[in-house]
Structure 1
Amino acid sequence: MIRCLALFFALACSSFAADKPNIIFVLSDDLAQGDLGCYGQKLIKTPNLDRMAQEGTRYLQAYCGTSVCAPSRSSLMTGLHSGHCPIRANREIQPEGQKPLPEGTVTVAKILHDAGYATACCGKWGMGMFDTTGSPLKMGFDHFFGYNCQRHAHSYFPTYLWQDDQRMNLPGNTGKGVGQTYSQQLIAEAALKFVRVNKDKPFFLFYAITLPHGDHEIDDLGIYAKENWTPAQKAYAAQVTRLDSDVGHLLDLLKELKIDDNTLVMLSGDNGSSFNPESEMGRLFDQASNGLRGFKRGLYEGALRQASLARWPGQVPAGRVTDEPWAFWDFLPTAAELAGAAIPPECKTDGLSLVSFLKGGPAPKRDHFYWELHEAASLQAVRFGDWKAVRNGPETAIELYDLKADAGEKTNLAKDKPDLVAKAEALMKTSHTDHPDWPMVQKRAGKGKKKK
């Protein structure tokens, strides 16, 4: 009798796990669409991600939360667009860390943790140090490994990383471009270990890889060592290829553990390209925005559209390419539906579930997409249908573009379409929630651009 009960409970647990797919979101720091072969890159080699695209779906209009690190990641985690999100710009805290998510914030990790998932963040967090309300360990994650602070993550040979809330020193590293230990090696090992340990139960891995964000440091230039390029160009290409190989190792592990068919893997960059098309990187790789206007810290399409892939054998259609749009704030309701979890009433998500879309159906219909950013000036953008409006400061005239005919946003139609400009202005007003931390200003006094 006891043996029969044990078997029953084992089968029940196995069925429970099978009903809840594993969820992995790979977030690359500053990856651009044009960096990947499957999006047209010719010089940088990305065979694993190109294969992931062939085995899954490639998205041409996947939008980030906004175009710098912390607010984009906050949108992904909270299901809120940047008109409501508690973090709407990079804001530094000394000596280490960024402005934290406030106490009580509902995150994807919290929802999945409460639904029985093991949860981990490996890579870069940047939404609150461990002694603040925004610590990843207070936001639903069982485990953390990597960098918490964005400034700290500029070094790929840091003097220390964080394991949960404990500082892990790395003897021999200088933090200045040289050392014995390349940080991504340890982060990759931590991510794979988490998957191995939790293979028999549902898990959520937020794999927030710092590659290929600057500083452009790499432990091995590999196939690019003999190219007639600048040192920075070689390092950048090697960083992207290292990202590719580490995602390949993750996909191989899922197959080895025989959990491939029960694991959704999504991949995206956290904002558009870092590079002006006329820059050192942009000129060589022709990838600054993959034919789109703008780059990081702006709100044109080149700053917002991401390289984005999804793979889930038997569920996500293989070889599909779609130009239907979705955005980071859709991830929270998507993960909740996959886990069979209710979204708490205090979580007023702006997102819509993508489960049907991921599985081959149409994208969810919505009234509009909205973005804002509070770095130098307060920027706003809104997309409704195929119309896109951008305002580069509250005292600046609204620009209007027809994305269907003009994805590169070259022709401003605002003077010809005053009714659509009025609609865009109304949407910008209703989508923005006033907050004393995020006043709408034409120029932020005393603040210039900083590397993030």
Structure 2
Amino acid sequence: MKRRSLIGSILIACAALPALAESNRPNIIYILADDLGYDELGCYGQKRIQTPHIDRIAREGMRFTQHYSGAAVCAPSRYTLLTGKHIGRSHTPGQGQRLPDGETTLGTVMKRAGYRTAAFGKWGLGDNPNEQGFDEWLGFLDQGRAHFFYPEWVWKNTEQLKFPENIGLRKEGAYGDISGGTYIHDVFTDSALDFIRQSQAEPFFLYLPYTIPHAEFVVPEDSLAAYAGCWPEHPEKAHKTVLDPAKGKRGIEGGTAFYDGYGYCSVDKPNATYAAMVSRMDRDVGQIMALLKELGLDDNTLVLFASDNGPTFIPGYNREFFEVPESFPFSGHKGSLEEGGIRIPFVARWPGRIAAGSVTDHLSYFPDILPTFAKLAGVEVSAPIDGTSLLPVLLNQPDRIQQAPYLYWQKGDAPVVRLGEYKGFFKQDKLMKAYSINEDIGEKNDITNQLPSAIRTQMEEIVQSVLSKPKHPAAKGKLK
């Protein structure tokens, strides 16, 4: 396959399938966890953390086993999800993502299709989601502030929503009595439930990028109680930061609830706390599912759940304790472009349309989400994108299934390309190592010298093409 056909086929893939009739367009709810590992849900083999409601999505819908995030860390991964583009098109492959004015996003696509749109949680892509197609917005613009669960304020559209009850809850890196505080995850859930109630008479798209289970590790007692005392624990103490707390971490004006001169908070029961955070998120997924049933929206709502990258690696998180080796035979974690850093859980439920209990190994990733939702909404996307619609996969239409010609990631100046079963790691445009994922899912045996010459040539052409193209300009302004 020549480079022109490889690259060019992506631009027309979104138009290759017929759109659904307007009367059949579903509501869409896309829920995104933050740093949740591939094996940290019961439906992916997890034994310690209870996730019955997310497991139900898989049991009554479809579970993907080869779905990938668009990057190995938060902001660039969200860029690929929201735009349908791989990270090589952004102005940076790293955390400093800023969507330019006029960018095509999930929000703008769904709004143009006549959907009511909302986003609640962690944005991480620049200023004002209201200008990126979302009618309603509440949450953190800057991902640095999104690491903390008892904020003094968050954004609600263009205004600050303040939580004075959270002031002073954390001192010298430790929380005192949090029973009177507002746990921001609960605000995201309440906002989602209110939005669904208000939107039941019209098609809606809800993007719910939760901040659980990203550190810091803290959870209300009503969730912690289910796991406290179950396992041995090794308390983790907060560490002083080297930054001036008066200026705020990473230069962000946050306030004493965040920046008391310490990093992530002390945690006495890190294993129980982490599990309880995930289960609290699962509980709230259950609340959303129950409301859909109550309002008679269940059969006409597509609910999807995924994570933004692989599991974390920070002190206090015990990867060995939660890891399920038979479900997670991967190398790497968050921050790595090995399988453990980018292969993620992904489940979808649409009663009567997605076959219950179905499992697919279809190779897919975040850029596929935008063209999928565009097809569901009945609109065409003229902007260049790098994904292909997953609708035929979800609806079990094998004669219509298309595979993106390649998958592309990049960390710094190190691109990674997945081409069929093969995955190549580059330093700039030089191939450094390669693996057959079908034969070596743990990425232990470098086959650079055995890689088929045609595959190597295609990978090199893809990388050279991406690296040589101009990137979109970064948006201006200061995040808070």
Contact 2:22 2:378 in 1 (8 A): no
2:361 counterpart residue number: 323
Contact 1:64 1:306 in 2 (8 A): yes
Q: Which amino acid aligns with 1:407?
A: I
Deviates more, 1:193-202 or 1:221-230: 221-230
Whole-angstrom distance in 2 between the partners of 1:160 and 1:142: 20
Q: Which residue, out of 279, 284, 290, partners 2:321?
A: 284
Whole-angstrom distance in 2 between the partners of 1:35 and 1:80: 27
Deviation at 1:87, TM superposition (A): 5.1
Deviation at 1:185, TM superposition (A): 0.9
2:211 counterpart residue number: 210
Is 1:117 matched with 2:120? no
Distance 1:358 1:414, change over 3 A: same
Question: SS state of the match for residue 462, structure 2?
Answer: helix
Deviation at 1:17, TM superposition (A): 6.8
1:384 counterpart residue number: 419
Question: SS state of the match for residue 321, structure 1?
Answer: strand
Whole-angstrom distance in 2 between the partners of 1:223 and 1:241: 9
Distance 1:186 1:279, change over 3 A: closer
1:415 counterpart residue number: 449
Q: Which residue, out of 390, 399, 420, partners 2:433?
A: 399
1:354 counterpart residue number: 390
1:334 counterpart residue number: 372
Whole-angstrom distance in 2 between the partners of 1:127 and 1:396: 30
Is 1:427 matched with 2:446? no
Question: SS state of the match for residue 425, structure 2?
Answer: strand
Is 1:224 matched with 2:256? no
TM (norm. structure 1) is 0.85
Is 1:106 matched with 2:104? yes
Percent identity for Structure 1 against Structure 2: 37
Distance 1:251 1:18, change over 3 A: farther
Contact 2:429 2:460 in 1 (8 A): no
Whole-angstrom distance in 2 between the partners of 1:287 and 1:214: 21
Whole-angstrom distance in 2 between the partners of 1:387 and 1:428: 14
Q: Which amino acid aligns with 2:391?
A: V
Whole-angstrom distance in 1 between the partners of 2:317 and 2:285: 27
Deviates more, 1:252-261 or 1:353-362: 353-362
Q: Which amino acid aligns with 1:49?
A: I
2:281 counterpart residue number: 243
Q: Which residue, out of 147, 154, 159, partners 1:154?
A: 147
Q: Which residue, out of 65, 68, 85, partners 2:70?
A: 65
Whole-angstrom distance in 2 between the partners of 1:316 and 1:410: 36
Deviation at 1:287, TM superposition (A): 5.0
Q: Which residue, out of 7, 16, 27, partners 2:32?
A: 27
Deviations 1:335-367 (A, max 9, x none): 111111121x3x111111111111123442232
Whole-angstrom distance in 1 between the partners of 2:154 and 2:296: 31
Deviations 1:58-83 (A, max 9, x none): 00111111111111111111110111
Deviation at 1:397, TM superposition (A): 4.8
Whole-angstrom distance in 2 between the partners of 1:16 and 1:194: 25
Whole-angstrom distance in 1 between the partners of 2:117 and 2:228: 38
User: For residues 130-279 of structure 1, what are the structure 2 equivalents within 5 Å?
Assistant: 135-174=128-167, 176=170, 178=175, 179=178, 180-220=181-221, 221-227=224-230, 228-230=232-234, 231-275=269-313
Q: Which residue, out of 339, 361, 369, partners 1:301?
A: 339
Whole-angstrom distance in 2 between the partners of 1:270 and 1:90: 13
Q: Which amino acid aligns with 1:58?
A: R
Whole-angstrom distance in 2 between the partners of 1:287 and 1:168: 40
Whole-angstrom distance in 2 between the partners of 1:437 and 1:107: 14
Whole-angstrom distance in 1 between the partners of 2:332 and 2:36: 14
Distance 1:212 1:287, change over 3 A: farther
Contact 1:86 1:101 in 2 (8 A): no
Q: Which amino acid aligns with 1:203?
A: F
Contact 1:333 1:353 in 2 (8 A): yes
Q: Which amino acid aligns with 1:385?
A: G
Whole-angstrom distance in 1 between the partners of 2:137 and 2:294: 24
Deviation at 1:32, TM superposition (A): 1.0
Paired residues, what number? Answer: 405
Q: Which amino acid aligns with 2:45?
A: G
Contact 2:91 2:471 in 1 (8 A): no
Q: Which amino acid aligns with 2:345?
A: A
Whole-angstrom distance in 2 between the partners of 1:75 and 1:321: 24
Whole-angstrom distance in 1 between the partners of 2:332 and 2:137: 33
Contact 1:111 1:341 in 2 (8 A): yes
Contact 1:70 1:87 in 2 (8 A): no
Question: SS state of the match for residue 28, structure 2?
Answer: strand
Whole-angstrom distance in 2 between the partners of 1:65 and 1:384: 15
Question: SS state of the match for residue 292, structure 1?
Answer: coil
Contact 1:33 1:287 in 2 (8 A): no
Q: Which amino acid aligns with 1:421?
A: R
Question: Structure 1, unaligned stretches of length 5 or more?
Answer: 1-14, 92-98, 130-134, 439-452
Deviates more, 1:396-405 or 1:48-57: 396-405
TM (norm. structure 2) is 0.80
Question: SS state of the match for residue 214, structure 1?
Answer: coil
Contact 2:90 2:472 in 1 (8 A): no
Whole-angstrom distance in 2 between the partners of 1:40 and 1:51: 14
Is 1:372 matched with 2:406? no
